[in-house]
């Protein structure tokens, strides 16, 4: 059975489906444009933003140069920070998140499959994640930004983070594949998939309005249920 299918079945047995948090979560591969879209939606909806914990992460740079040593502590760092973010978001009416706790299992699985995380560490990570999700509400909507590997690499080079430049293409290819697989099984909340390969919602107003309308229409559909 697919690893992600197993994961979502585990989560489904634990979470409280009747409680929904008024939150939009944006997810997708590294460099796809999550933060840029979040900033646009914050301006459009007036929701409070919750940024991905990257700038104050003491392990991220070390991880890219020594994955086996820092894989497990890095994943626990993200898990802890994102769990705290979800708890804070539950107290507010209207939040937008740049990634969240839900998609982190993608990275943990890749690290385990690649031999950078021990199987016992991965099992512990999944158990801890499942236990945490018992205590947080599901988001109203998750937006998955689909893209091609070439576009991801192009954007990564453009933003110029040193630790991302040393990563081989094969890693980004596998990450993109894992994201597509993961969101084929995702069942925690309503989901909107947007392919952004031919969209520039940062600099092109037509593209921006197109994406905003997709999201508004999806939210209207959700609110009618």
Known binder of ligand: residue 28?
yes
For residue 29, say whether it is annotated as part of any ligand binding site.
Answer: yes
Identify whether the C-beta of residue 129 lies closer than 8 Å to the C-beta of residue 97.
no
Q: Say if residue 136 carries a ligand binding annotation.
A: no
In this structure, the number of other CB atoms found within 10 A of the CB of residue 194 comes to: 20
User: End-to-end CA distance of the chain, in Å?
Assistant: 32
Let me know if 98 is a catalytic residue: yes
Nearest residue to 141 via CA among 72, 214, 209: 214
Confirm whether residue 164 is marked as ligand binding: yes
Do the annotations mark residue 30 as ligand-binding?
A: yes
Strand partners of residue 191 = 142
* 64 annotated as ligand-binding: yes
33 annotated to bind ligand: yes
Binding residue per annotation — 52?
Answer: yes
Q: In what order do the strands lie in the sheet with 95-98?
A: 48-50, 95-98, 20-27, 138-146, 191-195
List the catalytic residue out of 56, 98, 150, 200.
98
For residue 32, say whether it is annotated as part of any ligand binding site.
yes
- Residue 31 counted as an annotated binding residue: yes
How far is the C-alpha of 221 from the C-alpha of 225, rounded, in Å? 7
Closest CA to 107 of 139, 84, 129, 85: 129
Q: Is 196 annotated as a binding residue?
A: no
Q: Is 71 annotated as a binding residue?
A: no
User: How many other C-beta atoms lie within 10 A of the C-beta of residue 14?
Assistant: 12
Residue of 191, 170, 12 whose CA lies nearest to 100 = 191
Binding residues: 28-36, 52, 64, 75, 99, 104, 164
Supply the residues annotated as catalytic.
98
Binding residues for ATP: 28-36
Annotated binding site for substrate: 52, 64, 75, 99, 104, 164
């Amino acid at each position: 059975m697919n690893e992600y299918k197993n994961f979502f079945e585990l989560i489904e047995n634990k979470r409280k489906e009747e409680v929904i948090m008024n939150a939009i979560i944006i997810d997708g591969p590294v460099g796809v444009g999550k933060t840029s879209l979040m900033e646009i939606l914050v301006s459009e909806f007036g929701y409070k933003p919750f940024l991905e914990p990257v700038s104050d992460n003491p392990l991220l740079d070390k991880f890219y140069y020594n994955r086996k040593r820092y894989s497990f502590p890095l994943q626990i760092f993200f898990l802890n920070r994102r769990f705290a973010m979800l708890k804070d978001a539950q107290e507010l009416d209207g939040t937008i998140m740049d990634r969240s706790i839900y998609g982190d299992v993608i990275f943990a699985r890749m690290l385990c499959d690649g031999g950078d995380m021990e199987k016992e560490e991965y099992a512990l990570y999944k158990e801890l994640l499942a236990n945490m999700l018992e205590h947080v509400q599901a988001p109203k909507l998750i937006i998955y930004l689909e893209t091609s590997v070439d576009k991801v690499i192009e954007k990564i080079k453009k933003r110029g983070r040193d630790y991302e430049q040393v990563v081989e293409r094969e890693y980004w290819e596998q990450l993109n594949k894992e994201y597509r697989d993961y969101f084929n099984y995702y069942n925690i909340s309503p989901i909107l998939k947007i392919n952004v390969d031919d969209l520039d919602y940062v600099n092109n107003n037509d593209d921006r309005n197109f994406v905003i309308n997709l999201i508004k229409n999806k939210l209207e559909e959700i609110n009618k249920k």
